[in-house]
């Protein structure tokens, strides 16, 4: 059964209040949702808290979900709205969350898996991770979301357009501008 | 190699470098905690709906505006009355006030 078909079956059960289906849905999508939020706000602990809110919203809005839309598109739209609400709550622009990145650096490191055993290599790797993270954080919100959905979640342009509420050509334009900006910010790292 | 090709390769390299960013793993029991939180979180009451919040905010703005308008009009009316009284002060002082009509004598008939 295709992934979207399984999602539709699960959502049908969730609409009826089936918590086992809801749990299965969470387990299927917890990682992409948490990572999308983490890459958007740069705070690992808060990413989990917000991801929980996203799934609670999914459960409560299940009745309004139309099977015509792909489930992941709907899920990422809710995720993006939750992140935007968080920006508003904080009362600052997304680009300013660099401060949060520094403040929560330790917690983020706690989450990251250590693939390198050599301490020197680990330091270099950490610096690279921080640089990439900072480069993504400095992008405007729409560009950042487009990059996250395209590069990390593998969504098609059409799906990204639905999540961002714009045209496919606008998505392509956002991604081109993001690539140009990232090229400058990451110069020297590649 | 021309400049455009060089630029494209840079952008491509930066794009590929992004892929090296590590994600985070959900903590143990995330799904269970989410479901528990779902049960703990009270369902939204009608006054917590965004529409209601907007309506409340707009009502407050309307109330403040109307109150301001009423206060302003009263102030203007009071000011006008004071100006009128000041303008007619002299003529008003020329009249004697008679408390009782019985006081009217022959010379002071109406």
Nearest-neighbour CA in chain A from B47: distance (Å): 17
What pLDDT was estimated at residue B44?
66
Q: Is the pLDDT of residue B34 over 70?
A: yes
ipTM field? 0.77
What pLDDT was estimated at residue A4?
76
Average the pLDDT over B10-38 and give the result.
90
Minimal Cβ distance to B31: which of A23, A132, A185:
A23
Element (H, E) at A31: helix A19-41
- In A, minimum Cα distance to B18 occurs at A132
Most confident of A165-179, B47-61, B81-95: A165-179
Residues of chain B with pLDDT > 70, as a percent, come to 71
Minimal Cβ distance to A186: which of B17, B23, B24:
B17
List per-block mean pLDDT (blocks of 10 residues) for chain A, which spans 190 residues. Answer: 81 92 95 94 91 95 85 95 90 52 47 61 85 90 95 94 95 93 83
User: DSSP letter string over B30-89?
Assistant: HHHHHHHHHHHSPPPPGGGSHHHHHHHHHHHHHHHHHHHHHHHHHHHHHHHHHHHHHHTH
Q: For an interface test with A, which of B20, B30, B43, B45 has the most A Cβ atoms less than 10 Å from its Cβ?
A: B30
Mark yes or no for CB contact A179/B14 under 8 Å: yes
Q: Give the whole-angstrom CA distance, residue A164 versus residue A81.
A: 10
Mark yes or no for CB contact A47/B24 under 8 Å: yes
User: DSSP letter string over A142-174?
Assistant: HHHHHHIIIIIS---HHHHHHHHTS-HHHHHHH
Mark yes or no for CB contact A112/B24 under 8 Å: yes
What pLDDT was estimated at residue B106?
65
What pLDDT was estimated at residue A89?
86
Nearest-neighbour CA in chain A from B35: distance (Å): 7
Minimal Cβ distance to A128: which of B20, B24, B35:
B20
Which pair of tokens denotes residue B27? 């903590």
Q: For an interface test with B, which of A19, A28, A30, A143 has the most B Cβ atoms less than 10 Å from its Cβ?
A: A30
- Output the average pLDDT for chain B: 80
**pTM reported for the whole predicted model:** 0.69
Q: Is the pLDDT of residue B31 over 90?
A: yes
Residues of A with CB under 8 A from a CB of B: 19, 22-23, 26-27, 30-31, 34-35, 38-39, 44, 47-48, 51-52, 55-56, 59-60, 108, 111-113, 115, 128-129, 132-133, 136, 147, 151-152, 179-180, 182-183, 185-187, 189-190
Specify the DSSP class assigned to residue B97: P
Reported confidence tier of residue B104, pLDDT bands at 50, 70, 90:
low
Q: For an interface test with B, which of A186, A188, A189 has the most B Cβ atoms less than 10 Å from its Cβ?
A: A186
In this structure, are residues B26 and A23 in contact, taking their beta carbons and an 8 Å threshold? no
Q: Is the pLDDT of residue B110 over 80?
A: no
Average the pLDDT over B63-79 and give the result.
95
Average the pLDDT over B59-85 and give the result.
94
Instruction: Give the residue with greater pLDDT, B53 vs A155.
Output: A155
């Amino acid at each position: 059964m295709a992934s979207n078909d399984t999602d539709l079956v699960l959502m049908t059960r969730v609409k009826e209040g089936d918590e086992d289906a809801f749990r299965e849905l969470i387990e299927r999508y917890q990682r992409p949702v948490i990572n999308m939020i983490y890459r958007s706000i740069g705070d690992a602990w808060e990413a989990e808290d917000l991801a929980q809110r996203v799934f609670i919203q999914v459960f409560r809005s299940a009745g309004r979900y139309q099977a015509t839309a792909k489930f992941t598109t709907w899920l990422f739209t809710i995720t993006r709205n939750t992140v935007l609400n968080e920006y508003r709550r904080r009362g600052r622009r997304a680009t300013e969350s660099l401060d949060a990145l520094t403040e929560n650096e330790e917690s983020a490191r706690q989450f990251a898996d250590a693939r390198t055993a050599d301490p020197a290599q680990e330091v270099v790797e950490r610096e690279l991770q921080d640089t990439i993270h900072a480069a993504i954080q400095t992008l405007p919100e729409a560009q950042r979301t487009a990059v996250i959905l395209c590069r990390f979640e593998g969504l098609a342009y059409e799906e990204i357009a639905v999540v961002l509420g714009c045209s496919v050509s606008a998505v392509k334009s956002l991604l081109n501008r993001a690539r140009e900006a990232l090229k400058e910010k990451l110069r020297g790292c590649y | 190699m021309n400049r455009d090709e060089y630029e494209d390769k840079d952008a491509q390299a930066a794009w590929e470098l992004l892929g090296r960013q590590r994600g985070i793993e959900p903590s143990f029991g995330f799904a269970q905690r989410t479901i528990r939180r779902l049960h703990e979180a009270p369902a939204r009451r009608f006054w917590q709906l965004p529409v209601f919040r907007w309506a409340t905010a707009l009502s407050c703005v309307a109330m403040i505006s109307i109150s301001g308008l009423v206060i302003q009009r009263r102030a203007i009316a009071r000011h006008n009355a004071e100006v009128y009284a000041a303008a007619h002060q002299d003529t008003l002082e020329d009249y004697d006030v008679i408390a009782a009509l019985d006081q009217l004598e022959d010379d002071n008939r109406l």
